Amino acid sequence: MAYKSYADIIIDISHENLDKTYQYAVPDNLASSAVIGAPVVVPFGKGSRTIKGYIVGLSNEPKIEVEKIKPINSVIKGAPVIESHLIRLAYWIKENYGGTINDALKTVMPVKKAVRIKEHRQLTLVMHRSEAERIYEEQLKKNNRARARILKALLDEQAIDYDMAVKSLNMNTGVLAWLTDNGIVKTESRQIYRNPINNQGTAKNRVELNAEQQAIVDEILKDYYEGKRRTYLIHGITGSGKTEIYMDIISKVVSDGKQVIVLIPEIALTYQTVNRFYERFGDRVSILNSRMSDGERYDQSLRAKRGEIDIMIGPRSALFTPFKNLGLIIIDEEHEGSYKNETTPKYHAVEVAVKRAELTGSFVILGSATPSLESFSKCASGDYKLFTLAKRAKDANPPKVWIVDLREELKQKNRSIFSRKLKSLIEEKLSRNEQIMLFINRRGYSGFVNCRSCGHVMKCRHCDISLTYHADGRLLCHYCGYEEPMPKLCPSCGSKYIAAFGTGTQKVEEIARREFPGARILRMDTDTTRNKGGHQRILSAFARHEADILVGTQMIVKGHDFPLVSLVGIIAADLSLYAGDFRAGERTFQLLSQAAGRAGRDAIPGEVVIQTYHPGHYSILAAATGNYEEFYEQEMLYRRLMQYPPVAHILLVLVTSKDEEKSENAVKYAAGIIKEYIDGNKLASQVIGPAPAELSRIKDVYRRVIYIKDNNYDILVGIKNHLEDCFGNTGQFSGCNLQFDFNPMGTY
């Protein structure tokens, strides 16, 4: 029997051997619903069991004998159809980052299951804050504890979960009635971050852009109206008014009938930030975040698809919001590591955004105070257009930065983790009742080795990357596998003060309690924020001045403004400087710049103390003076010298297995194939490794890595494809997993 139409279908199973399309016939009764992107049920395999798949192509020509082509059973009703440009994007993602097409389709699709949204009731504060604060004080005085407790929670969170209020805060019907009758709260089904007071959007508080901001808006919109589509990078310090620029451009794009995606790192997705968008755009804004259930996220996707909203704000995954007529993608804090996906396909949101914009005729705006080297170098090459905002929009003086040389401290017999300068400044701020943040960088805690007398750091002679200390007394390079024994004396100055470096938040807290006995100290790290909302609770407590000192990891340097913080102490700036990967200098610069930006945001002038063994290191100097260009030039010299990204590209091949020997054999096999391929095609690619990964074993899974460098990304894609083929064709390594990461950012 002949059919009029045939569909290419991807079977919904992630398996290398099934990573191709299968042709099925489209019965006439399904012709109208069997469109590209539609989910279908088809018979598959010998027993023709039914299985789910997606249509990714349609044609009138059978590819094989018609008799052998099976018809589609049905088109799944009610499930979302993937936009055809998102299917093309999925193919591009698969090709450029590795993994199966199924993995890629899952990435671009709204959450697979249509989970029914559970009704969550919440109490939202609808009374003006100052009035609510007054009532709170009043209830405290009257000792109405239940009422005060709920009011306090509302003042902290703006909206609280109804069930939580009943269960944890012991809210009874009497208290609820009192809250409602007095116009303090409203009960409604939960819409996280929906501004309850101001749903329609108002012109109130709209700022007048300054000349620099307006010039940027004008230039970008001029391109837009002339039909030019490109990528822009706005390099502007925190508070320089980037968000105001985004909002002005968004309003024009939206009034043109198009939609906008705004990516913000999860940690910066605070009530304050999102609320600014609600105030301006009202109900046409929606958000995604990781605390939402699958059902809630799915629902937001559907709203976008149906055209009920114009603006989607969210972290990385919001990039795939299925808007019909996308006009603009904004990526704020584009340098953030969280824009890189950690699971296969390991895509980078900035690259995918640029691709999606290309496929849809939209454009991209990136913003950052400390742009990634990748993006900044694309401005230098003319791929992106650069704009710079040098001043804060609201006048505030830049903080005063002190760099303390820890080698000097040792010479002066000060063995404390607090330098004399930091100690005296902490005492001074405490006596003035101001607040202090102490920042410890946990990255690289895994232990590079340095000399406390001269600052010398043990590095790999081949990779110029810090060696990592292992408990058995060896120093190991996690790029190339080079190792040497731990020296007893510093090879540079002969001192015996050479050791693995490491200070944890807990230890800093302990010592701070000892050295500043009267001070109230809060600690924020992965331990203290494990519970839901722990993060927000600590920050809110600190904001209310319930503590004088906040000790923490990078979590504390992002988001929130604390007007009373007049001192930021960076305990060990070097911790991230020698974090055993080539981005260490860049990350250090970003973290120090961010940390420095925390001090003195308001009326009180701020001071920053950076403690380091390398006071002359360009990452530290440039962060102290806020000179991005200086940092960029220096760091690019290093990247050029070592052929690290963005100068060249790196493909990381990760082989994992529960069986150590198997992982060893598989990685050797992979290295052999790679070398053969490179030689056979007369390529100039450089192979480093194989070596045990820095995290050489996780949960009893052994991990081996190979790095391949080349100036040409496509050559690395070719190597990846070849490896995937070879691994797919040999049954030898069942139980081994092969993963790829292009220009990796995380720890392996």
Q: In angstroms, rounded to a whole number, what is the distance separating the alpha carbons of residues 307 and 286?
A: 12
- In the shown chain, the binding pattern of residues 191 to 210 toward ligand ADP, with x for contact by CB under 6 A and - for none, equals ----------------xxxx
Pairing of strands 498-500, 259-263: unpaired
Q: Which of 210, 737 has the CB closer to ligand ADP?
A: 210
- In the shown chain, the binding pattern of residues 438 to 467 toward Zn ion, with x for contact by CB under 5 A and - for none, equals -------------x-xx-x---x-xx----
Query: How many positions of this chain bind ligand ADP (CB under 6 A)?
Result: 15
Which tokens sit at 320?
């795939």
Of the candidates 92, 376, 479, 644, which one interacts with Zn ion according to CB under 5 A? 479
CB of 559 to ligand ADP, least distance (A): 11
213 binds ligand ADP (CB under 6 A): yes
611 binds ligand ADP (CB under 6 A): no
- With CB under 5 to 8 Å by kind, the binding choice for 694 among ligand ADP, Zn ion, none is none
Q: Which of 330, 620 has the CB closer to ligand ADP?
A: 330
Q: In angstroms, rounded to a whole number, what is the distance separating the alpha carbons of residues 590 and 595?
A: 9
Determine contact, residues 169/153, Cβ cutoff 8 Å.
Answer: yes
How crowded is residue 107: how many other Cβ atoms within 10 Å of its Cβ? 23
Q: Which of 269, 451 has the CB closer to Zn ion?
A: 451
Q: Which residues pair with 447 in a beta bridge?
A: none
Name residues contacting ligand ADP, limited to 370-399 (CB under 6 A): 393-394
Of the candidates 243, 321, 341, 594, which one interacts with ligand ADP according to CB under 6 A? 243
Of the candidates 244, 586, 635, 741, which one interacts with ligand ADP according to CB under 6 A? 244
Q: SS3 for 168?
A: coil
236 binds ligand ADP (CB under 6 A): yes
CB of 487 to ligand ADP, least distance (A): 46
* Phi (first) and psi of residue 653, to 5 degrees: -110, 120
* Phi (first) and psi of residue 738, to 5 degrees: -115, 125
CB of 593 to Zn ion, least distance (A): 28
158 binds ligand ADP (CB under 6 A): no
Q: Where are the alpha helices (DSSP H) in 226-328?
A: 242-255, 271-281, 294-305
239 binds ligand ADP (CB under 6 A): yes
How crowded is residue 176: how many other Cβ atoms within 10 Å of its Cβ? 17
Q: Is 114 exposed, middle or buried (0-12, 13-18, 19+ CB in 10 A)?
A: middle
CB of 560 to ligand ADP, least distance (A): 12
185-189, strands of its sheet edge to edge: 159-161, 121-125, 185-189
Rounding to the nearest 10 degrees, give the CA dihedral for residues 632, 636, 637, 639: 150
563 binds ligand ADP (CB under 6 A): no
Q: Which of 207, 637 has the CB closer to ligand ADP?
A: 207
238 binds ligand ADP (CB under 6 A): yes
275 binds ligand ADP (CB under 6 A): no
- With CB under 5 to 8 Å by kind, the binding choice for 409 among Zn ion, ligand ADP, none is none
What is the b/e burial string over 300-309, where b = at least 16 CB atoms within 10 angstroms of the residue's CB? bbeebbeeeb
List, in order, residues 6 or more apart from 625 with CB less than 8 Å away. 401
240 binds ligand ADP (CB under 6 A): yes
Q: Tell me, what DSSP letter sits at residue 551?
A: E
Of the candidates 328, 393, 477, 610, which one interacts with Zn ion according to CB under 5 A? 477
Q: SS3 for 691?
A: strand
- With CB under 5 to 8 Å by kind, the binding choice for 394 among ligand ADP, Zn ion, none is ligand ADP
Q: Is 24 exposed, middle or buried (0-12, 13-18, 19+ CB in 10 A)?
A: buried
Q: In angstroms, rounded to a whole number, what is the distance separating the alpha carbons of residues 523 and 511?
A: 12
- With CB under 5 to 8 Å by kind, the binding choice for 454 among Zn ion, ligand ADP, none is Zn ion
Q: In angstroms, rounded to a whole number, what is the distance separating the alpha carbons of residues 272 and 277?
A: 9
598 binds ligand ADP (CB under 6 A): no
- With CB under 5 to 8 Å by kind, the binding choice for 460 among Zn ion, ligand ADP, none is Zn ion
Determine contact, residues 101/90, Cβ cutoff 8 Å.
Answer: yes
Name residues contacting Zn ion, limited to 488-507 (CB under 5 A): 490, 492-493, 495
Q: Which of 368, 696 has the CB closer to ligand ADP?
A: 368
- With CB under 5 to 8 Å by kind, the binding choice for 479 among ligand ADP, Zn ion, none is Zn ion
Q: In angstroms, rounded to a whole number, what is the distance separating the alpha carbons of residues 162 and 325?
A: 37
Binding site for Zn ion (CB under 5 A): 451, 453-454, 456, 460, 462-463, 477, 479-480, 482, 490, 492-493, 495
Binding site for ligand ADP (CB under 6 A): 207-210, 213, 236, 238-244, 393-394
